Structure 1
Amino acid sequence: MSTNTVIEQNIDWGFLERYLAERDPHFARHWELLREARASLEENIIVSRGETGQTIASSFAERVERLRYQLLHEREEVLDGEDFRAAEMLDLLFARLSGQGDRTPRRAIQVVHDESVAAEAVAQLEACLDRQRPLEDVLASARRLTREHFAVSPTVHGGREQDQAGPNGSTGWRVLVYAPLYLSSYCVNYCLYCGFRFPEKVPRRWLTTEEALEQAQILTNRGMRHILLVAGDYPQKTDVEYYSEIIRAIRGQFPVSLAVEIAPQSTAGYAALVEAGIIGVTLYQETYDWQLYQHFHPRGPKSHYAWRLEGLERAAEGGVKRLGLGILLGLGDPLPDAKAMVRHAAYLKERFADRRIAFSLPRIHEGPADFVIPHPVDDETLIRLYCGLRHAFPQAELVLSTREPPSLRDLLAQTCITQMSAASSTVPGGYRAGAEAVEDQDGGQFPVVDRRPVEEVVAMLRDAGHHVTWQVPEFAPVTK
């Protein structure tokens, strides 16, 4: 079957024209774009998919991708089967324009609330959250699964590290220690819970490439070999070119792996970041409940639910190898959000079987002065959620930040965590050189609760029997 036949079968151009004419106030302009994109793609086929033809066709790809999300956003309150059908056809067109061929259309927006998806994994999560099940049983089971899937032979580290006795005499597992590096606190979003939201009167800072390199130097001097680059959403200051320049500069000077926790990018944008040198993307949906999502994100680009939801899918299509999901605990009922996140992860893993999945459960302890946490989550629920994710996804990375107090971090590190930050600052330029330096926390995105120095966190992990690694396993872990 020719490629042209596949296009005609899978994309109903007559339906798309009628759909846009009925539901899109910008029908004339958008239909002209689709007509030109179709002609470009068909011309590309006529010239036997030569390099020039492919370049012409791909020049329309990002515009078609943006159109798809614009239509989903404009009709979020009334989405129906016709909207989803149009979205799938536009995604098919985008895939072919961008050289991805005949892949299955994106369907995350339908999947995350489909109770038939990942039913067994969701059941494992729910079982851990059942308060009738003793917490000690849940902890023991999660510890066993983590040890089973993340235990490391000391020979992996060239014999530099020996097995140690962990809890109850057991051997631990590998734990990656990392640090966030905040590049900018400027943000155009109005997220009600965030210290970086646009209306907040906080000191703002944006790092130059040279300043980012200075911060990276401090972190690498502490042993860090995996750095998470973080920034608010402010396109005038933090675009793909800005991130790419910093990524290339850091990678050029330091033996580190890099991931990003930034505003969602287009597929082409993520591909550019991969080319620059990132291996991972962390993108929290915050809440999968659409109505709650709209309430907590009233203005700004982040108000676009579908654009954020499918960000990790675009990242994977752009070549990102490690995909980090998360929900912000405190916004809504954690169980339905966690179930939706498990479905989302299962969907991503099915589509991108070779990608590494990671989960994080950031919890709101305090927010801006006028923000009241609507659904506080207690310690036991947080523990059960992490254990539930270990049961639902035994091979997933579980990540824990310095939002939580030392005692709770220690318990979770001894139970199921495989990646944790240490001595973090959530302020751009917040790291200070010197052994006795105290990180700047004034104007940070959220309060850092665990302020122990890196050495103390590492000592805790080793006392628990773990193998401390400083780079992701795919990048030849280095022990210290």
Structure 2
Amino acid sequence: MKTFKSVFEQYNWDSIQTKIYQTSAREVEQALVKSKRNLDDFLAMISPAAQPYLEEMAQQCHELTKKRFGKTIQMYAPLYLSNECQNICTYCGFSLDNKIKRKTLTDSEIKQEIQVLKNNGFDHVLLVTGEANYSVNINYFLNAIAQIKNDFSIISVEVQPLSQEEYERLHEAGVYSVLVYQETYHQEVYKKYHTKGKKSNFDFRLETPDRIGKAGLHKIGMGVLLGLEDWRTDSFFNALHLDYLQKTYWQTKYSVSFPRLRPAEGIIEPNFIMDDKDLTQLICAYRLWNEDLEISISTRENENFRNNIIPIGTTSMSAGSKTNPGGYVVDPQSLEQFEISDERSAAEIAEIITQKGYEPVWKDWDRTFSSKSKTESHQETSIVN
């Protein structure tokens, strides 16, 4: 059966990169006046030629997001279950060759972490682990889900790529969405970053969203690790992947995240630097290209950026996050996968969202809000700071 690989093989990294950097201002202007945009328009909007149009893009993005999603931001929290991993990846604190204390939460420890998240108001949890088949496998995931499914309305997972049958079992167990990142679509250098373990198999990872789609999961989360390769070219291929998935598994919802390479013990420095205006441009391009796409901003980003991006295109945000197993209460000193930048509590983030005239949503399906007021925000003359 056809998978994204057959589409991916029709494109060439260098050719796409050249096309992006040769885009003209006229092509950007043509993309911005359209009511419905395609991948060529997305390419134009992520190009250097689009930078002078960022304010216009942000204004359009603000209106489009408000029309499609209203003035709401869904709140979620990651729950790191394990830092055990069999892969060697040069950018990750969980890498097998990083001599750290390994920890996998037990049932009782999971319950302790859950209690903290519930006390903070969360009803959407993202379960995260390293990739260790011998210990953190489908049986561990199903057991963990059984421990928490009565406490959360929405359960998402970000774990190792699985088989279609295993994704079907997760779906049956109550998992709502699966996040999987290709990290980089630059196939020739992928091996340089992933030197050992199952993750070194580029094609197996590339076809993972197909297996998730065939398993019937409600939502698939996508993204690339911004900083490994040229962000513009990588993001085009991620959009290409999303475009294929939406056409193939049209009943599934989709989201995109923007993990910028952050400091962590024993990892490389970013190969490509992406500044805040670059990331704002990318977020705007995704929204203007695809108004149904959910856009998630994590605590990897700093306070100022997260505050300012709320009215532009964001639909979900994490808050008070810990990126180490047991980080909320069980073992606060265990190694983080990466350093977070925004360390504010969930209550503080919710208050900022409210001050912006938006509503922090703790439940996706019944729109239960934590905010105290629903004050409409004033239209600002400039959205980009």
Which amino acid counterpart does residue 446 of structure 1 have in structure 2?
F
Contact 1:425–1:441 (CA under 8 A) maintained in structure 2: no
2:338 to 430, 446, 453: 446
**Equivalent residue runs for 1:130-169 within 5 Å:** 130-151=49-70
Tell me, in whole angstroms, the C-alpha distance in 2 between the residues paired with 1:123 and 1:411. Answer: 25
Higher RCO (CA < 8 A, seq sep 6+): 2
After superposition, the C-alpha distances for 1:382-427 in whole angstroms (9 at most, x for unaligned) are 1111111111211110011100100001111121110110000001
Which amino acid counterpart does residue 220 of structure 1 have in structure 2?
K
**Equivalent residue runs for 1:241-320 within 5 Å:** 241-252=139-150, 254-320=151-217
Tell me, in whole angstroms, the C-alpha distance in 2 between the residues paired with 1:115 and 1:308. Answer: 18
Aligned to 1:106: 2
User: Is structure 2 residue 74 aligned with structure 1 residue 176?
Assistant: yes
Tell me, in whole angstroms, the C-alpha distance in 1 between the residues paired with 2:146 and 2:41. Answer: 43
Q: CA deviation at 1:203?
A: 2.0
CA, structure 1 residues 147+125, in 2 after alignment: closer, same or farther (shift >3 Å)? farther
Query: Pairwise CA RMSD of aligned residues?
Result: 2.0
Q: CA deviation at 1:260?
A: 0.2
Contact 1:122–1:392 (CA under 8 A) maintained in structure 2: no
Aligned to 1:225: 123
Tell me, in whole angstroms, the C-alpha distance in 2 between the residues paired with 1:249 and 1:368. Answer: 31
Tell me, in whole angstroms, the C-alpha distance in 1 between the residues paired with 2:113 and 2:320. Answer: 13
Greater helix fraction, Structure 1 or Structure 2: 1
Tell me, in whole angstroms, the C-alpha distance in 1 between the residues paired with 2:137 and 2:122. Answer: 26
CA, structure 1 residues 122+444, in 2 after alignment: closer, same or farther (shift >3 Å)? farther
Contact 2:264–2:336 (CA under 8 A) maintained in structure 1: no
User: Is structure 2 residue 291 aligned with structure 1 residue 389?
Assistant: no
After superposition, the C-alpha distances for 1:304-325 in whole angstroms (9 at most, x for unaligned) are 1111111111112112111000
Contact 2:92–2:267 (CA under 8 A) maintained in structure 1: no
Q: CA deviation at 1:366?
A: 2.2
Paired residue secondary structure (2:157): strand
Paired residue secondary structure (1:202): coil
Gaps of 5+ in 1: 1-104, 152-172, 434-438
Q: CA deviation at 1:210?
A: 2.0
Paired residue secondary structure (1:320): coil
- Which runs of at least 4 in structure 1 moved beyond 6 Å after TM superposition? 116-119
Q: CA deviation at 1:135?
A: 2.2
Which amino acid counterpart does residue 147 of structure 2 have in structure 1?
A
TM (norm. structure 2) is 0.86
Contact 1:441–1:447 (CA under 8 A) maintained in structure 2: no
1:188 to 67, 86, 89: 86
Contact 1:183–1:212 (CA under 8 A) maintained in structure 2: yes
Tell me, in whole angstroms, the C-alpha distance in 2 between the residues paired with 1:379 and 1:365. Answer: 14
Which amino acid counterpart does residue 246 of structure 1 have in structure 2?
A
Higher deviation after alignment, 353-362 or 210-219? 210-219
Tell me, in whole angstroms, the C-alpha distance in 2 between the residues paired with 1:205 and 1:351. Answer: 38
**Equivalent residue runs for 1:314-333 within 5 Å:** 314-333=211-230
Tell me, in whole angstroms, the C-alpha distance in 1 between the residues paired with 2:10 and 2:363. Answer: 36
Contact 1:227–1:257 (CA under 8 A) maintained in structure 2: yes
Higher deviation after alignment, 419-428 or 316-325? 316-325
Aligned to 2:31: none
Paired residue secondary structure (1:244): helix
TM (norm. structure 1) is 0.69
Paired residue secondary structure (2:77): strand
Tell me, in whole angstroms, the C-alpha distance in 1 between the residues paired with 2:10 and 2:362. Answer: 38
Which amino acid counterpart does residue 111 of structure 1 have in structure 2?
V
**Equivalent residue runs for 1:387-426 within 5 Å:** 387-426=284-323
Which amino acid counterpart does residue 349 of structure 2 have in structure 1?
V
Aligned to 1:464: 356
Paired residue secondary structure (1:134): helix
CA, structure 1 residues 122+189, in 2 after alignment: closer, same or farther (shift >3 Å)? farther
After superposition, the C-alpha distances for 1:111-131 in whole angstroms (9 at most, x for unaligned) are 236469998234235325434
Paired residue secondary structure (2:196): coil
Gaps of 5+ in 2: 17-35, 371-385
Which amino acid counterpart does residue 226 of structure 1 have in structure 2?
H
CA, structure 1 residues 249+369, in 2 after alignment: closer, same or farther (shift >3 Å)? closer
**Equivalent residue runs for 1:358-377 within 5 Å:** 358-369=255-266, 371-377=268-274
2:38 to 120, 123, 148: 120
Higher deviation after alignment, 209-218 or 234-243? 209-218
Tell me, in whole angstroms, the C-alpha distance in 2 between the residues paired with 1:189 and 1:444. Answer: 16
Which amino acid counterpart does residue 107 of structure 1 have in structure 2?
T
How many residues are aligned here?
347
Aligned to 2:367: 477
Aligned to 2:27: none
